[in-house]
Structure 1
Amino acid sequence: MPAASASPAPAFASEDGGRPGAGANDAILRDFWYVALPARELKTGRTKSLTLCGIELELKREASTVTATAKTGESLQATEQEGLIWVYVPEAHGHAPDVPPPAFNGPGGARVQFVEEAHLPCHIDDAAYGLLDPAHGPYVHASPIWRSSKTLKDKAKDYEPSELGFTMVPHAPVNSKLYNIIGGSIRVSIAFRLPGLRIERIWNEKHTVLGVTVLTPVDANRTIIRQVFYWDTPVLTVIKPIARLFTRPFLQQDVRIMALRQQGLAFGAKGMLIRDADQLFIWYQRIKKEITDARAQGRAFVNPVKPATLRWRT
């Protein structure tokens, strides 16, 4: 199959047929937990103002308790888990969460070792496309230590459905030399869970690195992307002071490509999805639609993803 286009993410329609951000329906999923910010940014006795899913919030920490209050006076559920502050964004006033936030089960006592973030000028759906597009890595994040468009290889990856998403089953990595920093005999598993979590687990017999990419919708036109890492690998702790020299430019490449996309949208740019290269985003759209349909019909969610082997060149 041909590689996915290296151009900015297409102008995809939202699942309800409208453009993201159009009118009152901003196409952002609610009745979900979202990461509001890293826990280290909310000190005891202090408050933090932010906007989440278009809602102006004030977070406050008192001892071991975190509270979230909307500008309207409504209280939202908030909690700290694995070094992150989560806020439950309800569809309607008074809706309470049925389940806790997703657990990553990170190594090293689930202690956050490193966080970097950037502000993307786009809807969360477009940010998700950037995470799922196989061509995104070699074209947007081209780097001598990562990969480039000049070192494309034929790939065949096995996928299976997982909770509110899909998972690339464990495999031996073939692209990045960075994986080898924790030693040999490495395995990698990558899961994507709606509304915006990419969970990459890298491990061998001795060590584990967990990298979580978190998408937090500010509103219909802005999304925060955070790279959160957990590890039990001493060598990564040693090199952590210089890690931002690589991660910050990495995320700024995402900012640039999304800004270019906005320029294209101003001229009515259209997009298309190509199997197998865009199958992950096609699944994203189908899962999002199933979530909204199941809620509207008062029935249980049924994951539309079936086990599959996808092939592309990247």
Structure 2
Amino acid sequence: MVPSSGNSNYLKGAWYPVARSKAIRKNVLFKSKVAGIPIVLTRLGKPFALVDSCPHRGFPLSYGSIDENEIQCKYHGWKINAINGDCISIPCLTEAQKKLGIEGKIKSQSLACVERGGMTWVYIPCGKERAYTCLESLPASFDRDPDVYIEKIFKADIDQSTIGLIDPVHVPFVHTSSWWNKTNPQDFKIEQRDFEPGQRGFTLKQHVITNLAKPYKLLGEPVKTEIRFELPSLRLEIIQGTRHAACSLTVLAPIDQQTTRVHQCLYWSSPWLLPLKPILKALGEKFLDQDRVIVEQQQEGIAHNPVLTLVEGADTQAKWYLRIKREMERCQSEGIPFANPLTPASLEWMS
């Protein structure tokens, strides 16, 4: 059964994006929330992240101040090392109390933090396992600040937002802008696509885009695309035209049970597309807003927790997502390595 109304579980033992890397600055405390966990970040050459809670009375560290690598809590002045979470100073202790060494025994929880694709990511642990490499599938040429970055908040849970992300048949009904090719349902044809499993997801193998939207034509026709999905909620589309290449990276991160943050990054290889950035950003904003509106409207229909039906073909990717997520959670609970249960498959749907 598909989780239908804010009942989805947060997948731990996974990397989630927090913000565009440009937003994480030196001597500035950046506040966010991922998978129900409050997080505070700052930059000391590279970004560092802590759970946003002072180990004294739980006061958010993000309300405090920072000087180099020392965060001072606003409530009682405790100082925390931003790099590793160690307690550096407790002002209220007498010299005799300090000799007991309590300061060196207290820590705020630090989180693994990396930069990939122009975004800052944090690892939400599950037990004591080591964090796997973040975003292994991003091509090296696009591992940089995106040419266009868009961030949206969806008022929907992570499962429904993710299923909307990988839904292959909503486009002609939802994305109805004049600049995006719209197919009349009466003209639908059979789409046949080949998939193969990945390490933590599945890949729609490279194929030629037949009903080409106008922005794609800038890359030179014919245009080929390959789409990869990876847990927890990452969609990577690698687009190759005869003249130029582009990449679309969409990653979702749960904020809480009813809210999801969506990060959309666009990269391209052509320098002459740079003057078009404002136009492409506006189009991207419009496109993502159409997804946001439809997913939020969906919440009205599933608020009473109805039984939802996923059909073969068009909804098989949604079934795969739920299956590999459940398998990941099972492996984590049993303390065994994750093995992708999917096998190569060919899917068909009308589109």
User: Per the shorter chain, which TM-score range?
Assistant: 0.7 to 0.9
The offset of 1:205, in angstroms, is: 5.1
Q: Which consecutive residues of structure 2, in runs of 5 or more, have no partner in the other structure?
A: 54-107
Aligned residue number for residue 210 of structure 2: 174
* Aligned partners of 2:116 and 2:135 also within 8 Å: no
Superposed CA RMSD in Å reads 2.0
- Partner deviation per Cα, 1:189-226 (whole Å, 9 max, x = no partner): 00111111000001145422011011011111110112
- For residues 1-314 of structure 1, what are the structure 2 equivalents within 5 Å? 12-13=2-3, 20-21=6-7, 27-62=9-44, 64-72=45-53, 73-92=108-127, 95=128, 97-103=130-136, 104-107=138-141, 110-150=144-184, 152-177=188-213, 178-204=215-241, 206-314=243-351
Higher relative contact order (CA 8 A, sep 6+): 1
TM-score for both structures, normalised by structure 2: 0.78
* Aligned partners of 1:276 and 1:311 also within 8 Å: yes
Cα distance, 1:108–1:298 mapped onto 2, change above 3 Å: closer
* Larger CA deviation: 175-184 vs 32-41: 175-184
- Partner deviation per Cα, 1:107-151 (whole Å, 9 max, x = no partner): 356342111121101111111110121222221212232232515
Rounded Cα–Cα distance in structure 1 between residues aligned with 2:303 and 2:279: 38
Q: Residue 202 of structure 1 aligns to which amino acid in structure 2?
A: I
Q: Residue 142 of structure 1 aligns to which amino acid in structure 2?
A: T
TM-score for both structures, normalised by structure 1: 0.87
Percent of pairs with identical residues: 30
Rounded Cα–Cα distance in structure 2 between residues aligned with 1:193 and 1:109: 17
Rounded Cα–Cα distance in structure 2 between residues aligned with 1:293 and 1:187: 36
- Partner deviation per Cα, 1:76-110 (whole Å, 9 max, x = no partner): 11122231101011134xx3533221131253563
* Aligned partners of 1:146 and 1:175 also within 8 Å: no
Aligned residue number for residue 5 of structure 1: none
Cα distance, 1:106–1:146 mapped onto 2, change above 3 Å: farther
Rounded Cα–Cα distance in structure 1 between residues aligned with 2:230 and 2:41: 25
* Aligned partners of 2:119 and 2:145 also within 8 Å: no
Rounded Cα–Cα distance in structure 2 between residues aligned with 1:248 and 1:214: 15
The offset of 1:297, in angstroms, is: 2.6
Cα distance, 1:211–1:112 mapped onto 2, change above 3 Å: same
Count of aligned residue pairs for this structure pair: 293
